[in-house]
Amino acid sequence: MSETIGFIGVGQIGGTVARLAVDAGYKVVLSNSRGPESLSGVISSLGENAKADTSANIAKDKNIKIIVLSIPLNAVPTLLPSLGLKNKVILDTSNYYPVREGNLEELDSNKLTTSEYVSKYLDSSNKLVKIFNNIFSFHLRNSATQDESNQTILPIAGDDDEAKKLTNDFVQKIGYKTYDVGPSSLSWKFEPNTPFYGGIYLPEAPKDLDHDGLKEFYKKSQANPLTYEKAKEVLDSTERSTVVGGRPENYPKYLTEIVYDLYAQQAKDKASGNSKLIL
């Protein structure tokens, strides 16, 4: 029997990881804020190995060891304590965006990393591993490959080695390699305002592309395959920024627009009552 991965949040990132997991032979159980019926379109495009349930039922399911948590950070403080999550490996994709969350003092002051902030809302029997937060959803979708010589690296951070091993097994099966950056306190090394946050994966665009051309190029592009040596070199020399959190206004416009177009597509599907996988 194949392993089942649970999902809390199935938007750009959660939905993409679910797609890759099903493609790799896993079963998935998906949940969002609106309830299982709203996910029927997503389930039917993923096929018979996907089903929808509530986040609370996924939290209680003893057959599920790994849960991908991919909701806006502002939903974490209320949702997580209400679910009764225990003994799970939580793959946390969260990023801090002050424009979305409002300012959070513990994060702005670098007292906590975003992983440590999320962990505060989890029972201590759960093991959080930060992953998938630093790659654009379209790159995550386009770049999975079983060809190891051509695979890219996803940094991970967490305080439990066994959980990181399980994460690595999962990630390898869906077509990536992991690089263990260390404990949750070091997850800032691949949070916003670092080289490993999105930028390192960007391939070089052909010259002379205009704004629309760049959007089209990047949306279809694959992330740079990175070696361990390259990852090590960059991560070892990354310094902690006093500017904390994602600042969309600082990113190239063609990239923010790809992401915003995807959010707009999701909002449209949502309004029509039929969420879809957008990638």
Ligand X SMILES: NC(=O)c1ccc[n+]([C@@H]2O[C@H](COP(=O)([O-])OP(=O)(O)OC[C@H]3O[C@@H](n4cnc5c(N)ncnc54)[C@H](OP(=O)(O)O)[C@@H]3O)[C@@H](O)[C@H]2O)c1
Q: Interface residues with ligand X (CB under 6 A)?
A: 8-14, 31-34, 38, 55, 70-73, 75, 79, 93-95, 97, 133, 136-137, 259, 266, 270
First to last CA, the chain: 28
Partner from ligand NAG, ligand X, none binding residue 143, C-beta < 5-8 Å depending on class: ligand NAG
Q: Which residue number is nearest to ligand X in terms of Cβ?
A: 11
- CA separation (Å) from 29 to 24, 52, 68, 70, 167? 15, 5, 10, 13, 17
CB of 76 to ligand NAG, least distance (A): 32
Binding at 93: pick from ligand X, ligand NAG, none (beta carbon under 5-8 Å per type)? ligand X
d(CA 4, CA 245): 32
Which one of ligand X, ligand NAG, none interacts with residue 145, CB within 5 to 8 A by kind? ligand NAG
Tally of CA atoms within 13 A in the half-sphere of 188 that contains its CB? 20
Task: Give all strands (DSSP E) within the chain, no chain letters.
Answer: 4-8, 27-31, 50-52, 64-69, 89-92, 127-130, 153-158, 177-182
- Least CB distance to ligand X at residue 149 (A): 25
Closest approach of ligand X to the CB of residue 109, in Å:
20
Residue 222 near which of ligand NAG, ligand X, none (CB within 5-8 Å, type-dependent): ligand NAG
* Closest C-alpha among 171, 190, 181 to residue 228: 181
Binding site for ligand NAG (CB under 6 A): 143, 145, 147, 150, 222
For 135-149, give the DSSP string.
S-HHHHHHH--S-GG
Q: Which is nearer to ligand NAG, 117 or 201 (CB)?
A: 201
Q: Whose Cβ is closer to ligand X: residue 136's or residue 170's? A: 136
d(CA 106, CA 9): 24
Distances in whole angstroms, Cα of residue 154 to Cα of each of 64, 72, 112, 123, 275: 23, 20, 21, 26, 28
129 binds, among ligand X, ligand NAG, none (CB under 5 to 8 A by kind): none
Q: CB of 192: closest distance to ligand NAG in angstroms?
A: 25
CA distance 171 to 93: 13
CB of 84 to ligand NAG, least distance (A): 39
Using CB distances below 5 to 8 A depending on partner kind, what does residue 24 bind out of ligand X, ligand NAG, none?
A: none
54 or 222: whose CB is closer to ligand NAG?
222
Minimum CB distance to ligand X, residue 80 (Å) = 9
